[in-house]
Amino acid sequence: KQEVTQIPAALSVPEGENLVLNCSFTDSAIYNLQWFRQDPGKGLTSLLLIQSSQREQTSGRLNASLDKSSGRSTLYIAASQPGDSATYLCAVKSSSGYALNFGKGTSLLVTP
Amino acid sequence: GAVVSQHPSRVICKSGTSVKIECRSLDFQATTMFWYRQFPKKSLMLMATSNEGSKATYEQGVEKDKFLINHASLTLSTLTVTSAHPEDSSFYICSAHYGAGGDTGELFFGEGSRLTVL
């Protein structure tokens, strides 16, 4: 069974810092990996989708990388802002079916 | 990105009553939708896979008679929590599969529904 782990569980940084969120998964046979953002009491907003054949995706200040062979992905946030404060979830779509397996998330707080 | 709408966003009900939550894909057709449950500070737990025109596939440990799923059209799936009890109180989120690329398609999520059973 695919297991997804996110480190750290929580992170607090001052505004302007660059930061890296980590995600690891146990089964490298994946179709794709998605990073989501979740604000308190809200649903999930898709940030980046990386297909298994890709190594990275970029959107604005966000960059996600994928190393399928080692079972790792990172989400890089440049020049963090207080509005980036949220929980970031990593999810992997494995070879069986369409559903995603989620990590527990990293709770990010960016202080002014 | 594609939009998935979920309704209601919050619902409070008495123990023993049933509650229906709707999940709609607004600008695309979704043959497959998923229902997740999220406990505080826990990862999302997949409850069931909803396929248009056929019976839902439930994950192990999820009571199909308690959590009724109907996917009658390509844009609507419903989750009905029957005879709700306080332990059913949770955050329920639906997602819809978007994209013609088969398994490489992206999943979009609704805003979630907070159920509180008194």
B109 to chain A, closest Cα gap in Å = 6
B47 to chain A, closest Cα gap in Å = 10
- pLDDT of A89: 96
Instruction: For B42-61, give one letter per residue: b (16+ CB within 10 A) or e.
Output: ebbebbbbbbbeeebbbeee
Partners of A95 on chain B (C-beta within 8 Å) are: 103
Average pLDDT of span B27-47? 88
Beta-sheet pairing, A56-59 with A62-67:
antiparallel
- pLDDT of B31: 81
pLDDT above 90 (res B81): yes
Contact yes or no for A31 and B104 at CB 8 A: yes
CA distance B94 to B106: 14
- pLDDT of B41: 75
B66 to chain A, closest Cα gap in Å = 21
Average pLDDT of span B69-92? 93
Instruction: Report helix, strand or coil for B102.
Output: helix
Residue A33: band (very low, low, confident or very high) from pLDDT cuts 50, 70, 90: very high
pLDDT above 60 (res B101): no
Q: Which residue in chain A has the smallest CA separation from B103?
A: A98
Q: What angle do CA A48, A106, B102 make, to 5 degrees?
A: 30
**A43 half-sphere exposure, CB direction, 13 A CA radius:** 25
Count Cβ–Cβ pairs < 8 Å, chain A vs chain B. 64
Partners of B44 on chain A (C-beta within 8 Å) are: 89, 91, 100, 102
- pLDDT of A94: 81
Number of other CB atoms surrounding residue B98 within 10 Å: 21
Q: Give the phi and the psi of residue A28 in degrees, each rounded to 5.
A: -80, -5
- pLDDT of A88: 97
